[in-house]
Structure 1
Amino acid sequence: MVLTIATALLPVFFVMALGFFAGKRRIVDNSDVGSLNHLVMLFALPISLFTAIAVTDRSVILANWWLAVVLVIVMVLTYAIVYVAQTRIAKLSPGDAAVQTLTTAFPNYAAIGLPLTAAVFGPSAALAVAVAIAAGSVTISPLTLALLENARATEAGETGSTGRRFLTALGRSVRKPIFLGPVLGLVWSLLAIPVPDLLSTTLREIGGVAAGVALFLTGLILSAQRIRITGNAVVSSLVKTVAQPILGLLVIVVLRVPQPFAGQALLLLSIPAGFFGILFGLNHKLRPAVAGSTLVLSSLMSIVTLSIAIALLSGTG
């Protein structure tokens, strides 16, 4: 179990630490990371998500509908609750709240999901990670982009009702590569179009760097902030590492989700906070310190919570 968790978490902390070190020592400029962010958000991540989903057989996507249903329900519920709490209790601005909410509600499937699920369920579980990434990428990711666009429009003084501005923002968000990549991959898979080996190999040259560069960039961003253990960061981390898996367990019990989808969903929901929120915020010049603190703190907490999840799954297996 110790080796399983170390295999999943150590690479994440190592690459983030490299980015943090590079920023602190001014080896890489941590005050101007726009070019790296564009590499990740406009090219590497969209291509990586497209490839991961497009190469998945349609039968696998359809067979994993139980997994997709559980993850979508839990992530959307978590998102709604956390966003309300961030705006009304923590009093964050709508833009900062959107960044913090996505950080909390969207687990770090891209960097941690693959090694973790492969160690627990075997290599075939990689397909579960692709389904999980798709579930978040076509639901709470575009919602966050729309909220960020709406916040930008509001601050810019654009006219129109809130509803009209939000719909306009949603229209802009669904045209972004980070949304189009996974959606096109999902459509490609459902149409059962084979991905030529040459195309897959070509796309993986850039898509393969997505998780590593994204984690390095996250560490770089964190190096320009103060990591503070605030009440908001602690509660958000507990929501991610404790409340979200428990909510997932309740959904699994209520819907009577069969194995292996129940176990895969529970393990995936136990993964700590992801970096998408921070990267989305950077695109809109938003860097709420609480998001970085939540990312680091939830990753540390997950050493305990993932151990519990793996022990429970081993007991049921």
Structure 2
Amino acid sequence: MGKIIITDIVPIIVIMALGYVCGKFHYFDNDQRQGLNKVVLNIALPAALFISIVKATRGMLAADLTLTILGFVGIIVMFMLSYFLCKLMFKHNTQEAAVCALIAGSPTIGFLGFAVLDPIYGNTVSTNLVIAIISIVVNAVTIPIGMYLINLGQARDNEKLAMAAANKQLPTAAPAKGDVAVDPTKDPKTDKDAEISVAASDKKGKAKRHIKNKNVAALVNALEQPVCWAPILAIIIVLIGIRIPDQVAPTFDLIAKANSGVAVLAAGLALSTVKFSFGWETIWNTIYRLLITPAAFLGVGLLCGMGHDINKLAMLVLSVALPPAFSGIIISSRYNIYVKEGASTTAVSTVAFAVTCLLWIWLVPKF
């Protein structure tokens, strides 16, 4: 266990601290920071998600139907529960709650899955199966759902601002897709609450189309993002049964390897731009990510009869007890949504995992 902390947890903390220091000393300006986030979100992360998912097979998904169903349903339920609780308890809007769910409701399985589970349970078929299932649902299901909710929330906010401007008889035009949605009564240069639209810098120069239905528009906008369509394409390839040749993997691995390190650095940069928050929301998100989610999986797993294979149940519990997915904080920083709470939750949860990891390793075999 000490080896895991030294080789996996400590580097995350050090690189995040490095990003924080770089941000405080203005080593990166805002444009450079956003460019760094864009490289991760639009190139490195999609490549990492794609190559990690296509390594799975239909046989792996069918090998243990109970594990597959519990993994898919459980992650989605805990993701949506985090979303609704964020809105209910802390009064956040739709897009903020969506980013909260991407952070508090999703484990960083792609980054720490093998690094944590392999030394404890060995590099076995069961280990690979658990990591593959959780990785697929986190990357190919919850990220598209989160992006859809972000687009939907911002579309509603744009509509409300347009209506408010019209009621005040101020000349305004409905924000075009890709524009920043701001209150026309405020100076956009000083309005710190203005959020960047998800489509902001990715749609410039492209033909604009108008979709009246907000739900359809939000879905289309989400599916146009590489971080959404890349994992969905990968899962389709897996379900069809197409095998990607091993010789293709290095092509994706070269850029995918940049994902984790740059994502953690970017998380530190994001944290440097806001006041660190160690309030009730950060504490709640940390408890939800590291304690409530794995406890729910443990309870349901026992009810579903997984108690006969305690090692597999322990691997499942530990895989969903990992710190927040770094894709969440990248999306948060990239689009300037839920940055303070998201970065603080990521930092606190990563440190706290060194303790909660030991708790779950000790506790699950007791059942």
Q: Normalised by the size of structure 1, how large is the TM-score?
A: 0.90
TM superposition shift of 1:168: 2.6
Give the number of equivalent residue pairs.
314
- Amino acid corresponding to residue 56 of structure 1 in structure 2: A
Whole-Å Cα distance in 2 between the matches of residues 122 and 176 of structure 1?
Answer: 36
Residue 227 of structure 2 is aligned to residue 225 of structure 1:
no
Structure 1 residue ranges without an equivalent (≥5): none
More helix by share: 1
What is the aligned partner in structure 1 of residue 222 from structure 2? 173
Moved more, 190-199 or 294-303: 190-199
> For residue 157 of structure 1, what is the aligned residue in structure 2?
159
Name the residue aligned to 1:209: 258
Alignment of 1:235-246 (within 5 A): 235-246=284-295
Equivalence for 1:56? 56
Alpha-carbon spacing, 1:64–1:136, altered in 2? closer, same or farther (3 Å): farther
Report the counterpart of residue 67 of structure 1 in structure 2. 67
Q: Evaluate the alpha carbon distance shift between residue 181 and residue 83 of structure 1 in structure 2; reply closer, same or farther with a 3 A threshold.
A: same
Match of 2:177 in 1: none
Q: Partner letter of residue 140 of structure 1?
A: T
1:279 aligns with 2:339: no
Q: How does 1:1-317 map to 2 (within 5 A)?
A: 1-30=1-30, 32-124=32-124, 125-157=127-159, 164-257=213-306, 259=309, 260-312=311-363
Larger Rg: 2
1:237-284 CA-to-partner distances (Å, cap 9, x unmatched) read: 111111111101111012113534322211111112222222223343
Distance 2:47 2:129 in 1: 17
Question: Which whole-Å CA distance do the structure 2 matches of 1:280 and 1:64 have between them?
Answer: 33
Mean CA deviation greater in 255-264 or 16-25: 255-264
Distance 2:219 2:111 in 1: 27
Deviations 1:33-56 (A, max 9, x none): 221112111111111111111123
Query: Which 4+ stretches in 1 moved above 4 angstroms?
Result: 313-316
CA shift at 1:148, angstroms?
0.6
Aligned-pair Cα RMSD in Å: 2.4
How far did residue 173 of structure 1 move? 1.2
Tell me how far apart the structure 1 counterparts of residues 25 and 365 of structure 2 sit (CA, whole Å).
Answer: 43
Amino acid at match of 1:272: P
Letter in 2 for 1:151: G
Amino acid paired to 2:135: I
**Counterparts of 2:217 and 2:329 in 1: how far apart (Å)?**
23
Paired with 1:173 and 1:122, the residues of 2 have a C-alpha distance of 37
Residues 37/127 of structure 1: CA separation in 2 closer, same or farther (3 Å cut): farther
Give the direction of change, closer, same or farther, for the CA distance of 1:194–1:10 in structure 2 (3 Å limit).
Answer: same
| Cα distance in 1, alignment partners of residues 47 and 351 from structure 2 | 30
- State the Cα distance separating 1:214 from its structure 2 match: 1.1
In structure 2, runs of 5+ residues without a counterpart are 163-211
Moved more, 36-45 or 183-192: 183-192
Q: Which amino acid aligns with 2:270?
A: I
- The alpha carbon displacement at 1:139 in A equals 2.3
Please give the secondary structure, in 2, of the residue aligned with 1:46.
Answer: helix
Q: CA deviation at 1:229?
A: 0.6
Query: 1:174, 1:180 within 8 Å by CA — same for their partners in 2?
Result: yes
Give the stretch that moved more between structures: 119-128 or 41-50.
119-128
Secondary structure of the residue aligned to 1:27 is coil
1:155-212 CA distance string (max 9 Å, x none): 22189xxx94233312321232112222222222233323223321111111121111
